Amino acid sequence: MHVTIRNGDNRPGRIDMGVLLTNKSLPGKPSVFLGAKPIVSTQPGKFAVKAVPVEEDVTFAIPPRVPLRRFDDITVFFFPAPQRATLGTRIAIEQFTIDPR
């Protein structure tokens, strides 16, 4: 799964992004967390003040053997570094792309 984002955040500090897939139509609402990945443009050595938002893709692997065969809900989490956790991020989700296996 590729998540295309637009990062307009101009405060230094790493931000990781996580994705949770859920099937809300089933009892118990089973879900699978695909993990957290760093947003490259927020990493030390990659960060720069942006005149315009930067577009980038963050890729998550959907494990081949998960108890979830279908999903109808995608939840995206942002995990900012502790020094920047008091203010929200200026990151927008542009698109989700799922590649067939």
Sorted by where each begins, the domain ranges of the chain are: 2-97
Taking CA atoms, 9 is separated from 3, 19, 66, 81, 89, in Å, by 17, 20, 34, 13, 6
Tens of pLDDT along the chain (101 residues)? 999 999 998 888 899 999 999 999 999 999 999 999 999 988 888 888 888 899 999 999 988 887 788 899 999 999 999 888 788 889 999 999 998 76
What CA–CA distance (Å, rounded) separates 5 from 24?
25
Tokens encoding 26: 């089933």
pTM for the full predicted model: 0.87
